[in-house]
Amino acid sequence: MDVGPLTSTISCKYHTLEGPCGPHPPSPYLFLSPFPLHMYSSSSSPHSSVPRAMASPTSLPSLCLSSLFLLLILQCVAGGASSSSSSSSPKATKIGQGYRLISVEETSDGAIVGHLQVKQKNKIYGPDIPLLQLYVKHETDNSLRVHITDAEKQRWEVPYNLLPREQPPALKQTIGRSRKNPIYASEYSGSELIFSYNTDPFSFAVKRKSNGQILFDTSCDESVPYSGLVFKDQYLEISTKLPKDASLYGLGENTQPHGIKLYPNDPYTLYTTDISAINLNADLYGSHPVYMDLRNVGGEPSAHAVLLLNSNGMDVFYRGTSLTYKVIGGVFDFYFFAGPTPLNVVDQYTSLIGRPAAMPYWAFGFHQCRWGYHNLSVVEDVVENYKKAQIPLDVIWNDDDHMDGHKDFTLNPTNYPRPKLLAFLDKIHSIGMKYIVIIDPGIGVNASYGVYQRGMANDVFIKYEGEPYLAQVWPGAVYFPDFLNPKTVSWWGDEIRRFHELVPVDGLWIDMNEASNFCSGKCKIPKGKICPSGTGPGWICCLDCKNITKTRWDDPPYKINASGIQAPIGYKTIATSATHYNGVLEYDAHSIYGFSQAVATHKGLQGLQGKRPFILSRSTYVGSGKYAAHWTGDNKGTWEDLKYSISTMLNFGIFGVPMVGSDICGFYPAPTEELCNRWIEVGAFYPFSRDHANYYSPRQELYQWESVAESARNALGMRYKLLPYLYTLNYEAHISGAPIARPLFFSFPSYTECYGLSTQFLLGSGLMISPVLEQGKTQVKALFPPGTWYSMFDPTQTIVSNGGTYVTLDAPLHVVNVHLYQNTILPMQQGGLLSKEARKTPFSLMVTFPAGVTEGNAKGNLYIDDDELPEMKLGNGYSTYVDFYATLKQGSVKIWSQVQESKFALDKGLIIGKVTVLGLDASGKPSAIEIDGKPVVGVSDVEVSTLEHKYLQEGQDDGMKKTTMVEVNGLNIPVGKNFVLNWKMGA
């Protein structure tokens, strides 16, 4: 059923809330929607806050009205009273006079430790912490850490066992000799970065050693709209000055309507929240307090990054010339990464937080999911229909339809009977297809449920006042596992093992792990009432609950802009005064809940059958990419959401989570046929490519429209040919953090025109996707950075961009423009309907030189392995790595390889069947073709063809000298052996 959205607006003092009031959910706070705070958050599954049992259309207005009153009360109580606390106005009250440095000394390992004393106490947001410890260390040649905490009491930090890193020195009980009123600044220099400080008031700056450029500067005076250093128990503030022309990226997860580049005065709030991705500029499922800063001074580009490793809720105010952090707990633990290239930055960042997880090969195939595959026969039909439509499909998913009463690790005996499910899995596994199901963290409170029984016996749940904290999600009343408890991690791994014995799934999808709760406060199971009833909407709270406001953790003095409306931070989640293992407060650990679940799930999957784990997680934190892939949550089937998906994907590459994608065609409501055509043309090039839809939306599998099926065959057909390249990028990500999908500035940092470009993207360093993102368009205006670009669908079509240019490309409905940059060698295979089959086909190499040059170079690489093995590495006998090189010199073309660990490729019998070279001078045809010094033409099946390039820019055919593409087919070169292929260009 599909009822169009009604729009309502409600005003409460400083807040205006508006949004759709219709049955296609998306958000646990009424945020953009007057549905019961959870309604519009849909997660992408039942595990979304999407309506399970929809109210009838006639009941919608009254439902909306009651919800609006609820929100009005909530806002006036929670938001109105403190509306000024989050103000970014330049007239905002400054807090205190900061701190002075009273002692400093060097440690034995070359760090510095100092002590800071508050200059003047005040009570705004609570009392100041009087004495702080400062610790500064150049931890590597290109990273600097600045750690500031209470000098006398241990404070909450992201657990060192969860995110391994160096520990700062223990707190000192005695403070060194006071240094009275020093008036000079001091410096502490490393290989790439310099830390300098002023003592009174204390401030610090981080400079680039090579050119003296100031990257971070916390000094302030009367003219700036922010305070100096503030450090209270529940309120920390610090700011940095920024040059006007700095381009900033990161600070997510949020949906950024202005594109990938941070936009001055947009709100950036970090606090993991289940509201849907349709909510713009709001804190979504993940928290990544890191930003990259790209500058171009005098034509010299340089990038660096700043991480504030803190898991507490925070607002970050970016004003264009400054950036201010306002954090409600924890410590200041800053890491500065010197770059200077964007790739260097992500390499340095992921070397600290953990390299991205190795993904199995099949994960780069196409995935199909839907919440609402009511029984197994529907799933079987979907798989069969993809095959009939000749659309590639590698993985079929179940949202919670397979479960018994929405309970984790169970099967519905009627709709998904185990014998029939096992027979289905045997069938798809035999051809190489995979099967993944969802699990949510909430464990149903049910005395007959084994998972619950074992959880209670092992005491694994988060507590409130000594008892397991009661919440409600899809099964009804639930308890939440405490993944900071080692016993919970062991119990969770055992439940995964038990479930895998029941159903041999190939991966797990962890959802609703912000954590999402349909209720708020302290709840109990109502007497004489079934919860959930099974007749009303499943996301409506049916427990008996009362608000918890008695502690400063539930009602902190500073209100972050949670959900974009200053919602209470315990609203529709775990009460922030609840406790984890060793007394850790949910207040502190909230944003790492999904991260801790991913770590536990990865550990549980690792032991199964010795295979590489695949995990998809909705909630993420710094370091999540080491364990899980991510999808961008509940999006909408609109042209705007299609466009937003590119920026979010590119951000997650910067965050160290390169395996990312959005629900293709939108999660809800119904996409149009045209939109779904265009979305698969983008989604076919997401690193993680999955179609997923809401229970209440019409079916949108790619075969539902013949036009979409045609676009899917084209776009996914190209993806499956590119699988060797995508998998090699996966290896590069795993060893260096390099994003799979990248903004153009990663490859063209000197070209400032692309700094804000959010409508095109690169796969790797030189494969550019330029999709249609607007309704009714059959052309796309694409930016081409300087150099030569070749169309992947017709390599004779060439664009030579002198200095960078926009080109209008034809893009009829079934066409997506994909171009390959010069100086590249791209390994491809022939594609297929399954990645397992596509892997067996002969390779081809596409070699690109700048059009018409007399001398040129190109290079590429290829990584192949047994992708089921847990580790992705060379040297184990089950992997091969090949570097490819090509030169054009003195009329001769030479292409050769250097193979490491040849055995795996040789054992698999993999061959190169075709080499295509683009951009050659058309003065003559190739002659004297040799492989390893032996002539091939006339003594083998080798065929040579040449085609002239066509130039797409108007008038360029006239000015360019003729160039050709040369294709050498019928080769039989073993991938696992070094080879040299060469020929002369002559008459």
Residue of 531, 529, 403 whose CA lies nearest to 478: 531
Whole-number Å distance between alpha carbons of 208 and 306? 13
3-state secondary structure 398-443: ECHHHCCCCCCCCCCCCCCCHHHHHHHHHHHHHHCCEEEEEECCCE
Whole-number Å distance between alpha carbons of 637 and 673? 11
- Across the strands, what pairs with 617? 510, 630
Q: Of 315, 333, 511, 967, which is the active-site residue?
A: 511
Which position has the token pair 């600044």? 185
511 among known catalytic residues: yes
Q: Is the dihedral of CA 731, 739, 910, 967 positive or negative?
A: negative
Report the relative pairing of strands 911-921 and 544-546 from DSSP bridges: unpaired
404 among known catalytic residues: no
634 among known catalytic residues: yes
Whole-number Å distance between alpha carbons of 324 and 32? 27
CB distance 23 to 60 below 8 Å: yes
Whole-number Å distance between alpha carbons of 597 and 441? 8
Q: Which residue blocks in 275-408 are alpha helix, DSSP H?
A: 342-353, 376-388
Structure tokens that stand for 184 in this block? 């000079």
CB-hemisphere CA count at 13 Å for 280?
Answer: 15
Q: Of 347, 514, 691, 701, which is the active-site residue?
A: 514
Residue of 740, 766, 765, 744 whose CA lies nearest to 660: 740
Report the relative pairing of strands 817-821 and 980-986 from DSSP bridges: unpaired
Structure tokens that stand for 847 in this block? 């070699």
Q: Could you give the C-alpha distances from 776 to 4, 542, 675, in angstroms and in order?
A: 22, 46, 9
Say which amino acid occupies 26: P
Whole-number Å distance between alpha carbons of 849 and 859? 10
The CA-CA-CA angle for residues 161, 166, 283, to 5°, reads: 65
Whole-number Å distance between alpha carbons of 648 and 258? 11
- Residue 906 sits at φ, ψ, to 5 deg, of -70, -40
Whole-number Å distance between alpha carbons of 682 and 636? 15
Q: Of 634, 641, 674, 865, which is the active-site residue?
A: 634
CA dihedral 791, 796, 797, 799 (to 10 degrees): 90
Structure tokens that stand for 784 in this block? 């081409």
Whole-number Å distance between alpha carbons of 861 and 867? 17
- Across the strands, what pairs with 196? 187, 205
441 CB-contact burial (10 Å; exposed 0-12 / middle 13-18 / buried 19+): buried
Residues identified as active-site: 511, 514, 634
